[in-house]
Amino acid sequence: MSLEMKVPAVGESISEVTIGQWFKKDGDQVEMDEVICELESDKATFELTAEAAGVLKIQAQEGDTLEIGDTICSIDTDAAAGDSKPKEDAGADKKAESSASGKTGEIKEMIVPTVGESITEVTLANWLKADGDYVELDEIIAEVDSDKATFELPAEANGILRHVAQEGDTLEIGGLICKIEVTEGGAPSSEDSSSTSESSSASAASTSSKDTYATGHASPAAAKILAEKGINANDIKGTGKDGRITKEDAEKAERKAPEAPKSESKPAAAKASEKVADAPKVAGSRDSRREKMTSLRKTVSRRLVSVKNETAMLTTFNEVNMGPIMEMRKKFKDQFKEKHGVNLGFMSFFTKAVCVALQEWPAVNAQIDGNEIVYNDFCDISIAVSAPKGLVVPVIRNAEAMSFEEIEKEVVRLATKARDNKLSIEEMTGGTFTLTNGGIFGSMMSTPIINAPQSAILGMHNIVERPMAVNGEVKILPMMYLALSYDHRIIDGRESVSFLVRVKQLLEDPTRLLFGV
């Protein structure tokens, strides 16, 4: 009999979930209540357990978004009954299987793949598998950083992993990163390990045989919390199914104090240097440290200097009364969030305003390509986001055709992926105009640098109450300075000033955005 497993109801307001990762493969034997995959909603991460013992048939893949009640997999319970054998037969099969498995003598060399048209080198960020570990085909073994994004490196064969490059190494595209000693028949069993290793004991073998993929593995929510706390997942014990580290485990975890070194394990000089390193800092000390620049930081530095040197950059300023937008947000923000599930922020107003102005002044939305000017009829708005590894600029595609709700949801999605270092090259490529908001950090005024090959960028700043003359009277109004940096080679002063005045007009009377006037 085939038992269909459907996406369970995981919360009152949750209507859909995304498959985070499968812990079991299609065709694997599963036991009842065994964790087989993770489901991610917009609020939390959940583990899905098998509802019966049998052979798993996967119907939805990792990354698929399913509604509550959709079929996610099925379990063939008849196969479980048919596969049951006496322990002796099972042991004999296992031995025969293990004898069939082993090294083939083939060495698979893995090189740095091509990850983008303009990317020539990457940095090995961290190994997810240790040297000597058994890896399976397409299993993620490392993360590499380029000057634009972080990529996951999957294994290209089943076998034993041998590191060639170390964490922090910079490799060119095509450079050798690791080798895999190809094996057949799957990972070595505990019996094979004990027979080939003279130091392993029977008790150790029995203990390791109980470990599963979930043992010591952190769920995505737990991994994020541990990363924020600076805690290694290997330093805590999971209380979830099969020793899995849950979100609650991560929240309770505390960073361990560094252990005192054993006297017999390190020389006196090493102990002395550790004491100096662990000593508390004294006021007035003149310590300094050096850190290697990341690929992203080096590229940002190179591109900013290039823009300053290769463009005729000029900045024009204006100020806008933010009172009308603030009153509109105050009036409708609760209803907006209740209906659309996302906050009504300033970014959607600015995005809509610049899209209207860009279509009226197309030179601001254009770019120079050799001896030609490329005018764009669409508005791909780049949003500058301060990510952990540096400044990134994801793109909102066809923003001119999007509603306030769609813009706010896209901003939240891209900002979240940027903070988690999960943005793809495609999500950061292109863009015809850029918005940057230094006001969230308290900036009153700045001259933003153009995001090449674009021709203009609009800088938003903090909102400050200032006395303003209105119809002969002095009123206290919430004001914001706007700064438009533009390439004077393609945009004239009339166009830049008129563009900024139009943006000011739309923001000070946001009802114009609703009627397109």
The pLDDT of residue 357:
95
Residue with tokens 């609760």, as numbered in its chain: 334
How many folded domains does the chain comprise?
4
pLDDT at 497 over 80: yes
Residue 262 lies in a domain: no
Containing structural domain, residue 443: 311-515
Query: Residue 76 CB: number of other CB atoms within 10 A?
Result: 18
Q: What is the CATH number of the domain that holds 347?
A: 3.30.559.10
CA 52 to chain centre: 35
- The contacts of residue 97 (CB under 8 Å, 6+ apart) are 185, 186, 189
DSSP β-bridge partners for residue 313: 487
Respond yes or no: is residue 340 known to be catalytic. no
Burial grade of 371 (CB within 10 A; 0-12, 13-18, 19 or more): exposed
pLDDT digits (tens, 9 = 90+) for 179-194: 998 887 666 654 444 4
Which residues are CB-neighbours of 39 under 8 A, at least 6 positions away?
Answer: 7, 10, 17, 18, 19, 20, 45, 46, 47, 48
Domain identity same for 363 and 492 = yes
Q: Does one domain contain both 402 and 359? A: yes
For 179-226, give the DSSP string. Answer: EEEEEESSSPPHHHHHHH-TT--HHHHHHHHT--TTTTPBPHHHHHHH
Residues in the chain: 517
Average pLDDT over residues 424-450: 88
Structure tokens at 188: 């070595």
Which tens digits make up the pLDDT trace of 366-381?
999 888 999 999 999 9
Residue at 302: amino acid letter: R
Residue 93: inside a domain: no
**Same domain, residue pair 379 and 331:** yes
- Match 């991610």 to its residue by tokens: 40
In a domain, 95, yes or no: no
In a domain, 297, yes or no: no
Spot the catalytic one: 26, 33, 169, 488. 488
Give tens-digit pLDDT for 70-96: 888 998 888 654 454 444 454 445 444
Q: Does 469 share its domain with 326? A: yes
Tell me the CATH number at 248: 4.10.320.10
Per-residue pLDDT band for 167 (boundaries 50, 70, 90) equals confident
Residue 178: inside a domain:
yes
Q: What tokens were used for 517?
A: 């006037």
For residue 488, indicate whether it is catalytic.
yes
Question: Residue 339, SS3?
Answer: helix
User: Which CATH number covers residue 162?
Assistant: 2.40.50.100
SS (H, E, C) 447-477: CCCCCCCCCEEEEECCEEEEEEEECCEEEEE
CA distance 214 to 245: 8
Query: Angle of helix 404-419 relative to helix 346-360, nearest 10 degrees?
Result: 110
Residues 16 and 158 in one domain: no
Q: Is the peptide bond before 453 cis (omega within 30 degrees of 0)?
A: yes
Residue scoring higher pLDDT (70 or 42): 70
Residues 315 and 393 occupy one common structural domain = yes
Asked if 14 and 160 sit in the same domain, the reply is no
- Asked if residue 92 belongs to a domain, the reply is no
State which amino acid sits at residue 208. Answer: S
